[in-house]
Amino acid sequence: MLKLEAVSTFYGNIQALKKISLDVNEGEIVVLIGANGAGKTTTLLSISGLIRHAEGSIKILGQDISKMQPEEIVGLGCVHVPEGRRTFPNLTVEENLKIGASVLIRNGTHMSEIKQDVEKTLERFPNLMARRKKKAWSLSGGEQQMLAIGRGMMARPKLMMLDEPSLGLAPILVQEVFHIINEIRQQGTTVLLVEQNARAALNLADRAYVLETGEIVHAGAAKEILHDKQLIDAYLGG
């Protein structure tokens, strides 16, 4: 589904990613963990095309994305739910969801189908249903996160990448978010997750990569990493 080989990304002269390689197979939940500044967000930004990687190759469903614009990468079926929710503040909940389906609409999917998708999403998230005509800036942090995830799902992605979805949320909402991510996988979407909240993420995921200052320092089954005391102390804030 997703394959990174020896990918390096620079911010000006600073090298944020140093020849990292990772892959995500269909149906998996893979998590990227590591401290702040390790390069987790940069990895996702390189995959979704908002930043151009300088070396190596990134392939989504076998296609090399190095010459693609972000809008085309979404067209391949890869959706990036960015850090900090980034809902469109002056659009309503409904409008945010519809915008999520931009790629489908561009490719000719009928508005009526999209509207059906919107209804289904709102049914899944009763909080959002209650606020469907409200502008996104008026929603709480947790509601905005649900909206961002729902919006991402509207593109009917094959691969969904989420950047720190639990950030700033109360524990109950964190549980809810991870529950939703599990549902997403069960519905057939592959998930690449970036998380600071390592324990919860490792509980959910199949495999994990540990990132430190731009390099992959460990890779393996999520449960193993979770139970490896040394790793937990060394790399994870918890």
Partner 1 sequence: MFSMATQLFINGLAIGAIYAMVGLGIALIFRAVQAVNFAQGEFVVFGGFFAITFFSTIGLPVWLSIICGVLATMIMGYIFQRLVYVPLQRSTSITIVVATMGVSIALTDSSRIIWGAAPRLFPEILGSTVIAIGDLYVVPQNLVILVAALILFITQYILFERTFLGMQMQAVAQDKETAALMGIKVNRMIAITFLYSSGLAAIAGILVAPITYIWSTMGSGLVQKAFVATIVGGFGSVPGAILGGLFVGVVETLCGGFISSTYQDAFAFIILIIVLIVRPMGFFGEETMDKA
Residue 51 or 180 with smaller CB distance to partner 1: 51
Q: Does position 34 bind partner 1 by CB under 8 A?
A: no
Confirm or reject binding of residue 115 to partner 1 (CB under 8 A): no
Residue 2's CB: how many other CB atoms inside 10 A? 22
Q: Shortest gap between Cβ of 175 and partner 1 (angstroms)?
A: 26
Using rule CB under 8 A, residue 167 touches partner 1: no
Closer Cβ to partner 1, 27 or 89, answer by number: 89
Applying CB under 8 A, which of residues 91, 129, 217, 219 lies at the interface with partner 1? 91
From the number of C-beta atoms within 10 Å of its C-beta (0-12, 13-18, 19+), residue 110 rates as exposed
Q: Which is nearer to partner 1, 87 or 222 (CB)?
A: 87
Q: Which two tokens stand for residue 227?
A: 């139970």
Residues in touch with partner 1 (CB under 8 A): 48-50, 69-71, 74-75, 79-80, 82, 86, 88-91, 95, 98-100, 102-103, 105-106, 111, 151, 155
